[in-house]
Amino acid sequence: MKINLTDIFNLKNSVIYNPDNFKAVSKVSIDSRTIKANSIYVALKGNKFDGHNFVKEAVSKGAIAIIINKNRLTSFDNLNCTIITVPNTTIAYGELAQKFRNKFNGKLISITGSNGKTTTKEILATILSEKFKTDKTLANNNNHIGVPKTIFSIKKGTEVLVLEHGTNHFGEIDYTANIAKPNYAVITNIGDSHLEYLIDTNGVYKEKSSLFNETLSNGGTIFVNTDDAKIKSETKKTKNRITFGFNGRPDIKGEIIGFSKDGKTKLSVEYLGKKIISELPLYGISNSKNMLAAIAVALYLGVSKTQIQKAIKKLNQVKGRLFVETFQIATLIDDTYNANPASMVAAIDLLKKIKTYQLKTLIIGDMFELGENALQIHRELATIIIKSKIQNVFMIGKLMKTLSSEMQNTNINWAHFRTRKHLASFINKTEFKNQVVLVKGSRGMKMEEFVTQIREKLK
């Protein structure tokens, strides 16, 4: 797949200088540090960086063309390469990615959701790799920059691309879905995520469902989680849909048939009268849901039972995402990648289910982007914690102060720490012997630093 001169001419409001110097290329870069020869360099401008400052470096490394803001032409008009000026380089980057995607003849699967999208993407890519040459979103490059970047990184011979789409503002998924034009789409679930900007679950669905709308408009197929009431009700009249879930009568049905002592799930999946039964290497009911979503897509695309079971054995835990470590004196659960109400409940559920030790300790930080109901949502965690019979609860953050007030008339051993220094000092003095410890909080709370501290103590 290559970007040719016609593609460049068709960029909106673009002006091309030195077009005779241009030849078709297969590489587009936004990073002068890693750019390869015979690439197009796109000079993006953000709040804290400006790619225009690195144009000359990119050209010196072999960039055959540069895309710059039209207001910056005079800075680079003496360069011996094709120069394309546009009103907005970020938009041009997306346009170019869409043109590149249109040249891709393989299947493109897009995934979004309030929880589980990254894990589902990883599981699905692993399973599909047993049958197809598969590419995927690396890390969490899932926004208006990351989605184009992933599309430009498609390797030669790729048959399936698995894309992740993230958002925290209205219109983001509509934008990236329009670039990706998926053949298949999955929304893992709709929950209380990014409510500071998306307002409520109706807003969350409106934003996430852009992925379904784009897929269906292109004649594609959507995969509907019928256990999610919002997704189920909004798509019940939709054609070209495949349903999956643990309840009712979906096309592809999952059943949790047991748990190991260390909390691993045994999952059964039934499709067209055939069952796949596996003990999952990933922990937590939430990961069983992610697994079911991935298996649903894989089965529909013709991956065999044997191939799926082989792939499941290859799956590894991902640090920060219900990552369970067993030490000689304790078990540690690292779920620090991010937090919202649903993922917090899922993590606490796993803490409850692991039976290696009876003593359970919860170390939690604030959940961000919950809007005007943030305090109430934190307060409501008390009921879940009490029902789970967790003995120790240690909190940090302004929002968690609200939860601490609910702990006062309970039998729980609890403390709220005003600063990171205070919590770190407490951890340093605590033995954590013969217990299961869960650490969780939103990305901005940097709870992984406490995980590192605890891990060093337990080694």
Confidence of residue 162 (pLDDT cuts 50, 70, 90): very high
Closest CA to 88 of 151, 26, 19, 14: 14
In angstroms, the CA 113 to CA 207 distance is: 10
Look at 165 and 193; give whichever has higher pLDDT.
165
Is residue 194 predicted with pLDDT exceeding 80? no
Per-chain mean pLDDT for the chain: 94
Is residue 328 predicted with pLDDT exceeding 90? yes
Q: Is 141 helix (H, G, I), strand (E, B) or coil?
A: coil
358 and 452 part of one domain: yes
Above pLDDT 70, what percent of the chain?
99
Is residue 192 predicted with pLDDT exceeding 80? no
Is residue 4 predicted with pLDDT exceeding 80? yes
49 and 134 part of one domain: no
**CATH number of the domain to which 77 belongs:** 3.40.1390.10
The domain total for the chain is 3
422 and 358 part of one domain: yes
CA distances in angstroms from 346 to 96, 131, 207, listed in the order given:
40, 32, 23
In angstroms, the CA 382 to CA 384 distance is: 5
280 and 426 part of one domain: no
Is residue 6 predicted with pLDDT exceeding 90? yes
Q: Which domain holds residue 38?
A: 5-96
120 backbone dihedrals φ, ψ, rounded to 5°: -60, -40
- pTM of the predicted structure, to 2 decimals: 0.89
215 and 299 part of one domain: yes
**CATH number of the domain to which 328 belongs:** 3.90.190.20
In angstroms, the CA 227 to CA 225 distance is: 5
- Once rounded to an integer, what is the mean pLDDT over residues 183-210? 85
- Once rounded to an integer, what is the mean pLDDT over residues 94-112? 97
**CATH number of the domain to which 149 belongs:** 3.40.1190.10
CA angle 121, 126, 131 (to 5 degrees): 120
- Once rounded to an integer, what is the mean pLDDT over residues 33-50? 94
What is the model's pLDDT at position 251? 97
Question: Counting Cβ atoms within 10 Å, is residue 392 exposed (0-12), middle (13-18) or buried (19+)?
Answer: middle
Is residue 169 predicted with pLDDT exceeding 80? yes
64 and 146 part of one domain: no
112 and 257 part of one domain: yes
- Once rounded to an integer, what is the mean pLDDT over residues 38-56? 94
234 and 341 part of one domain: no
**55-64, 72-81, 110-119: the lowest-pLDDT one:** 72-81
Last residue of a domain, one of 72, 96, 120: 96
Confidence of residue 77 (pLDDT cuts 50, 70, 90): confident
Last residue of a domain, one of 69, 96, 123: 96
What is the model's pLDDT at position 324? 96
Last residue of a domain, one of 314, 338, 373: 314
Confidence of residue 163 (pLDDT cuts 50, 70, 90): very high
Is 252 in contact with 295 (CB distance < 8 Å)?
yes
- Once rounded to an integer, what is the mean pLDDT over residues 348-373? 94
23 and 81 part of one domain: yes
256-298 pLDDT, tens digit each = 999 988 888 999 999 999 899 999 999 999 999 999 999 999 9
280 and 397 part of one domain: no
Closest CA to 115 of 205, 187, 43: 187
Is residue 195 predicted with pLDDT exceeding 80? no
- Once rounded to an integer, what is the mean pLDDT over residues 139-145? 91
What is the model's pLDDT at position 253? 98
Using the structure block, give the residue that is written with the tokens 């792939």.
Answer: 311
Confidence of residue 203 (pLDDT cuts 50, 70, 90): confident
148 and 164 part of one domain: yes
300 and 328 part of one domain: no
Confidence of residue 115 (pLDDT cuts 50, 70, 90): confident
What is the model's pLDDT at position 202? 86
